[in-house]
Amino acid sequence: MLLLGAMLTGVLDDCFCDVESIDVFNNFKIYPRIKKLTERDYFRYYRVNLKRPCPFWSDDGHCAIKDCHVEPCPESKIPVGIKSGNYNKYSQAANSVSDRSECEQADDLGAINSTLSNQSKEAFVDWARHDDAQDHFCELDDETSPDADYVDLLLNPERFTGYRGASAWRVWNSIYEENCFKPRSVYRPLNPLAPSRGLCLEKRVFYRLISGLHSSINIHLCAEYLLDEGWGRSVWGPNVQEFRRRFDTAETKGEGTRRLKNLYFLYLMELRALYKVAPYFERAFINLYTGNSREDGDTKELLLQIFNEIKAFPMHFDEKSMFAGNKLEAKTLKEEFRLHFKNISRIMDCVGCSKCRLWGKLQTQGLGTALKILFSEKEIQNLPERSPSKGFQLTRQEIVALLNGFGR
């Protein structure tokens, strides 16, 4: 965010925080740790279905450029604790399996551990029921689908691959144009990135989050831009000209500054969600399980260090003002908010470039998980200290998307 900070100064709208403070906090406290965290086994493997058809229009063909391709990770490369199922992050017997064969581990991990109490076993059943009925902010991939693959995120980085198909423009145009709130506000700007005068806080937040997500993706494409395809190997690097075309104040008639401010706003919202969810992970029995006890312990310790830094940040976004009016109106608006965002997650299946689709789906799920956390404050506050919760849980996919999305 160093380059961005050079282009922005001052206080952000809708929150009492300034750009300079966020830059210092992120660049020196958070980013070095979040980078290390997302390189660890638990967070580098993401299961995703990139073959789901676009639900909104006829598929106009996928990108044929080789750099658009996403290489699935062979099953043999996936840590046994990850491929054995989501519930393993709660396993109470994970420390004893690291020296045994992969097949033996897989056999044991294929069923709920017999050392768990009856109360814990019942909780697992309740989790499944709750998860099936839970109102998600994202359209979740079916991890059991034969079309779902594990992807090594470190080997498939987010970058501009050279794809310039119509689907990219169509996806973002649909996101902005087809997800307005009803009834419409007295004033709705034609450009969703324009000042949101006349919109209530919730609607401003919605548009600013989507704009921030769009800005984040564009910045990463500019930072890892396909510069040369000569001599049989591709070369990526920063494309400053493309960055300025999208964000420079003069070239965008002022829109670029708002886009970047919305990126900072998105950062604060996801930071707030991590602050809120810290108690969920701080419980002793929560284990980010891969099957390697030393690796798992180091990963959780690093995650807790990040939470401690986040707690010390003095200027968190205050989400309590959202949906705080008439209860019926607030409930209706909150549901509309959820459905809009869920719709956006479905649109990501229309992205033509597989690598762009991968990172679009991951970052959308990460933001959806952040929203789920912010709207589950009471459930998180009531978490039992020594046993799983019926009212709030996160799947491994949500955890991986949340931290990688925030890392982006």
Whether 350 is a known active-site residue: answer: no
Q: Is 246 annotated as a binding residue?
A: yes
State the number of CA atoms in the 13 A half-sphere of 396 facing the CB. 25
Is 211 marked as binding a ligand? yes
Q: Is 214 annotated as a binding residue?
A: yes
d(CA 246, CA 197): 23
Under 8 Å between Cβ of 358 and 63: no
236 within 8 A of 225, measured Cβ to Cβ: yes
Distance CA 122, CA 100 (A): 29
Token digits of residue 172: 């973002």
Task: Indicate the angle between helix axes 354-374 and 255-282, nearest 10 degrees.
Answer: 60
Per DSSP, the three-state class of 340 is helix
353 is an active site residue = yes
For residue 328, give both structure tokens: 């019926």
What are 150's strand-pairing partners? 47
Q: Kindly report the CA angle at 223 between 219 and 228, in degrees rounded to 5? A: 130
Kindly name the residue from 15, 17, 138, 356 that is annotated as catalytic: 356
Is residue 71 within 8 Å of residue 150, measured between CB atoms? no
User: Annotated binding residue at 161?
Assistant: yes
Query: 275 CB contacts (<8 Å, ≥6 apart)?
Result: 307, 310, 311, 313, 316
Instruction: Return the C-alpha torsion angle 278, 282, 283, 289, nearest 10.
Output: 100
State how far the Cα of 222 lies from the Cα of 211, in Å rounded to an integer. 16
Find, among 140, 211, 198, 159, the residue nearest to 400 by Cα.
Answer: 140
Q: For residue 393, how far is the Cα from the chain centroid?
A: 16
Is 172 known to sit in a ligand binding site?
yes
User: Is 257 annotated as a binding-site member?
Assistant: no
Phi, psi of 125 (to 5 degrees): -65, -45
**Position 87, amino acid:** Y
d(CA 243, CA 218): 8
What residue numbers does the annotated binding site for FAD cover?
A: 159, 161, 172, 211, 214, 246
* Residues designated as active site: 353, 356
